[in-house]
Amino acid sequence: MTEEFDIVSPEAIRDGRATDAYFDRTMEALEHAGKNPEVVAEVTANQFATGTWKVLAGLKDAAQLLDGLAIDADALPEGQLFDGGPVMRIEGPYREFCRLETALLGFLSHPTGVATRALEARHAAPESTVLSFGSRHVHPSIAAMIERAALLGGLDGISNVAAGEVIGREAGGTMPHALVICFGRGNQEEAWQAFDEGVPAETPRIALTDTYSDETDEALRAAEAIADLDGVRLDTTGSRRGDFRHIIREVRWTLDAYGHEDVDLFISGGLGPTELRDLRDVADGFGVGSYVANADPLDFALDLVEVDGEPAAKRGKLTGKKSVYRTADGGHHVGLASREGPENAESLMGPLVRDGEVVREFDLDAAVERAAADAERVGYEGVDASEGRD
């Protein structure tokens, strides 16, 4: 049996082998004809505004893919909200990047979808701690992308250890039901105490309290078993949950009645924006899984809009090189680059690659701040959705 996982290597991606086969045929045809036109290509999801804001993510990997090519590229900043129009523009000989289109779109489409879902979750519970619990729902080879995009969209922490090593963030987490089950029914205190005594001092003391018995019963037992308990986590499955809000309020009441007002309530399991809005006043924090991690990739496309200095685009696409602007009132505007933009508007397209060299720094903290600030600037209100939960 082979020891290799079914993973396309970074070398294959960079070499252009992670491509759709018709780009190989395109290269063969152009080489045979001796053609290599100078083009302007744009990456766009929606040409016109739809009223739905997205958060650009994945630009760091996309830039690495283009590094060293005989092209120039411009792009919106990572973390920028956008509604229609191009997010990236590439100028240069078409054969220089033809085979890279498939990978380039993947680098942008999937993390943008994840970051946008993370922003939705963040705005559903703006005052709460919201953590990314979703890497178990995706192929492990993309866990770092998932966690980075989740943080970019505004979540407060991640759970995947290897992903944290890749993106320079420490993963967090406490205990699964499996730990409690290993000690057996009726022995929950032994599990919680083993955790308290065995994990590093800096690990928050959060006890999972819905494994065998009533959540209120286990929460109180955990608070009395661990002297410095930081909080309890409720992860009750949907089939056993009943009125989850009522359960949480009952747990809070009981803890307070027995003098454990300082024990926080952390909630996870099948949560999306609808649930976060409903529970944010009775819970201190949330773990969000599949709603973020299972986000549909945004349907970006790459289109040639100019060939050898002349406007050119297929039917249904807007021809010509374009610019993107943010106006003072938070509006998102797209226009031909050869024309004047809106008065006092900020141009959002900036240099990404010049003469084959990446000229932009990628700082995750700066992208997180940009997404939060731009969401406020455009009056982002989030969504009310419940689909896609774990």
Report which residue type is found at 357: E
Output the tens digit of pLDDT for each of the chain's 390 residues. 667 899 999 999 999 999 999 999 999 999 999 999 999 999 999 999 888 999 999 999 999 999 999 999 999 999 999 999 999 999 999 999 999 999 999 999 999 999 999 999 999 999 999 999 999 999 999 999 999 999 999 999 999 999 999 999 999 999 999 999 999 999 999 999 999 999 999 999 999 999 999 999 999 999 999 999 999 999 966 656 678 899 999 999 999 999 999 999 999 998 999 999 999 999 999 999 999 999 999 999 999 999 999 999 999 999 999 999 999 899 999 999 999 999 989 999 999 999 999 999 999 999 999 999 999 999 998 875 444 444
Query: Would you say how long the chain is, in residues?
Result: 390
Torsions phi, psi of 108, nearest 5? -95, -40
Task: Tell me the β-bridge partners of 287.
Answer: 131, 268
Helices (H), the chain: 10-14, 21-33, 59-66, 94-97, 101-124, 143-152, 161-167, 177-183, 188-198, 215-225, 238-241, 244-257, 273-279, 290-293, 364-377
| pTM for the whole structure | 0.94
DSSP track, 218-247: HHHHHHHHSTT--EEEE---HHHHSSHHHH
| Residue range(s) of every CATH 3.20.140.10 domain in the chain | 10-114+298-377
| Residue range(s) of every CATH 3.20.20.70 domain in the chain | 124-293
Say how far apart CA 367 and CA 330 lie, in whole Å: 18
Q: What angle do CA 11, 115, 58 make, to 5 degrees?
A: 25
The CATH-assigned architecture of domain 10-114+298-377 is: Alpha-Beta Barrel (3.20)
**Assigned CATH for 124-293:** 3.20.20.70
